[in-house]
Amino acid sequence: MSQYTLSGYDASAHMTEETKHADKNGPRGIISAVGISAIFGWLYILGVTFAVTNIPYLLDEDNDASGYAIAEVFYSVFKNRYGSGVGGILCLGLAAVAVFFCGMSSITSNSRMVYAFSRDGAMPLSSVWHRVNRQEVPINAVWLSASISFCMALTYLGSTVAFQAMVSIATIGLYIAYALPIFFRVTLARKSFVPGPFNLGRYSILVGWIAVTWVAIISILFSLPVAYPVTNETLNYTPVAVGGLLLLIVLTWTLSARHWFRGPKTNI
């Protein structure tokens, strides 16, 4: 959870085409998002950690929240302190609202990626997804992103294992996507890279290697089993999901995309 609170700050980069002075405000948005997430995420996790006293009970399906650990934490804290768990339910409602807005921002960010890839001809039916309406919003890409997200959520009704296999990409997959451009920046493009108006100067290489190293460490840690004994229900499917996705990407590029994709289209 601590790493998950620092995810999603790349949304500023995906929205740069709709941002004034994007070459400066885009990086500032990323840095401010990281700072705010670090502070409030740390406070949230710190509070939850101090509130956790009996982990087996939190996971017990016979507790007040039917085994939903975070809900039981909120409920039990208020019930033990004030004699009623209503405050915990309200706090959980606030968390639900925050998750809702997080979902909206994710859809917004993802739809812009769909728009950008389809504009470059890198997606099936690209001519459909890169269309914009009168408000210059890629509405088809928005509906595509929302529909896929909805269908992925429906799998939870049939199989929690399948659902967890998909969402396991949420943290490691994102960070691998973050780290790859940084890795190529500090290696292959170390001398040829042209920095923009907003850059880290002489500290760029150092910070880049720290970022790559950190992603490598958490990728290993988050691939380890989270419970013992390991069964079909407790198996950490993150390596399978991420590895399968990477294999699919490599095969797609090797067998097809490298023959016709010529990189992003520019109008400058």
Q: Is the pLDDT of residue 213 over 90?
A: yes
Q: Is the pLDDT of residue 220 over 60?
A: yes
Decide if 71 is inside a domain. no
Q: Return the HEC string of the chain.
A: CCCHHHCCCCHHHHCHHHCCCHHHHHHHHHHHHHHHHHHHHHHHHHHHHHHCCCHHHHCCCCCCCCCCHHHHHHHHHHHHHHCCCHHHHHHHHHHHHHHHHHHHHHHHHHHHHHHHHHHCCCCCCHHHHCCCCCCCCCHHHHHHHHHHHHHHHHHHHHCHHHHHHHHCHHHHHHHHHHHHHHHHHHCCCCCCCCCCCCCCHHHHHHHHHHHHHHHHHHHHHCCCCCCCCCCCCCCCCHHHHHHHHHHHHHHHHHHCHHHCCCCCCCCC
Decide if 89 is inside a domain. no
Structure-model confidence comparison of residues 215 and 34, the more confident one: 215
Of 118, 139, 158, the position where a domain reaches its end is 158
Q: Is the pLDDT of residue 4 over 70?
A: no
- The residue behind tokens 């409030």 is 40
| 177 and 221 fall within a common domain | yes
Of 158, 174, 205, the position where a domain reaches its end is 158
The mean per-residue pLDDT over the stretch 124-153 comes to: 88
| 253 and 164 fall within a common domain | yes
Confidence tier at 116 by pLDDT (50, 70, 90): confident
Decide if 27 is inside a domain. no
Decide if 4 is inside a domain. no
| 241 and 208 fall within a common domain | yes
pLDDT of res. 218:
85
Decide if 48 is inside a domain. no
| 250 and 182 fall within a common domain | yes
| 145 and 168 fall within a common domain | no
Of 115, 130, 158, the position where a domain reaches its end is 158
Give the rounded percent of residues in the chain with a pLDDT score beyond 90: 10
Domain count, the chain: 2
Residue 266's domain spans which residues?
Answer: 159-268
Q: Is the pLDDT of residue 251 over 90?
A: yes
| 132 and 165 fall within a common domain | no
Decide if 50 is inside a domain. no
Decide if 87 is inside a domain. no
Q: Is the pLDDT of residue 2 over 60?
A: no
pLDDT of res. 9:
67
Q: Is the pLDDT of residue 183 over 80?
A: yes
